[in-house]
Amino acid sequence: MISYGGVNITWLGHDGFRIEGGGIEAVIDPFRLMMRGRRPAHVIFITHNHFDHCSPSDLQNVVDERASIVIAARNCEKELVGVAAREVRSVDPYQSGEAYGIRYRTVRAYNVNKFRSPGIPFHSKEYGGLGFIIEIEGVKIYHAGDTDKIPEMSSVGEVDVALLPVSGVYVMTADEAASAAEVIRPKLAIPMHFGSIVGSASDAERFKRLCRCRVEVLKVEE
């Protein structure tokens, strides 16, 4: 865990994070959680419907049917049928809103040079994957989702913390992520998308070496 501006940021593994500030807790893309028992969050953000981001079994441990608000990419609607939450919101790119005082904006996340077959990206622009920019206690955090370095990153705006994938294969390589950080210009960057499906700690460390901004490589916590 790291604290930035009074907001605690905990890496839950892969692309998953817990964000805590002002007595409010948000979780992003919970997957293969190591936590013992349930720990419901006020808000859960889901970037897209792939199993390692939209995991109904993991959601059961972070959702409370009376209190939790789930904010998910529209392509998650099928996977979220039956999820017991206070509210489930389906969102598209370039939407904004608020939940429990957490402000959020959605941005695109997609591949430009990672392909499942010739000319067919793992995450196309049309697929509707998202990045989220959330603001909690005045701290702006950009979770990039599964993406390459894309032109839309230049219009993300000022952010304090950027959570960036670094493993390659389905997302940016460490080198591409460092280049993206030059465009985004966060005060703090945290690598993700390694150590589970693809990528290793060496990708995170390479990203750290290449970045000009402050980088913290977190360890997985419960």
Per-residue pLDDT tens digits for 4-20: 999 999 999 999 999 99
Spatial distance between the Cα atoms of 51 and 121, rounded to a whole number of angstroms: 17
pLDDT-derived band at 35 (thresholds 50, 70, 90) equals confident
> Which residue shows structure tokens 């430009």?
112
Among the listed residues 130, 68, 128, 71, the one whose alpha carbon sits nearest the alpha carbon of residue 97: 71
The chain-wide mean pLDDT, for the chain, equals 96
Domain residue spans of the chain: 2-215
| Token representation of residue 110 | 């997609």
Spatial distance between the Cα atoms of 177 and 189, rounded to a whole number of angstroms: 10
| Token representation of residue 83 | 């999820």
Spatial distance between the Cα atoms of 50 and 75, rounded to a whole number of angstroms: 9
Backbone conformation region of residue 62, classed left if phi is above 0, alpha if psi is from -120 to 50, else beta: alpha
pLDDT value of position 37: 81
Give percent of the chain above pLDDT 70.
100
State the fold for domain 2-215. Metallo-beta-lactamase; Chain A (3.60.15)
Q: Indicate if the pLDDT at residue 36 is higher than 80.
A: no
DSSP letter (8 states) at residue 55: -
Spatial distance between the Cα atoms of 183 and 185, rounded to a whole number of angstroms: 6
* CB neighbour list of residue 98: distance below 8 Å, 6 or more residues apart: 104
Spatial distance between the Cα atoms of 131 and 34, rounded to a whole number of angstroms: 24
DSSP letter (8 states) at residue 16: E
Instruction: State the average pLDDT over residues 168-172.
Output: 97
Instruction: State the average pLDDT over residues 36-65.
Output: 95
Q: Indicate if the pLDDT at residue 222 is higher than 80.
A: no
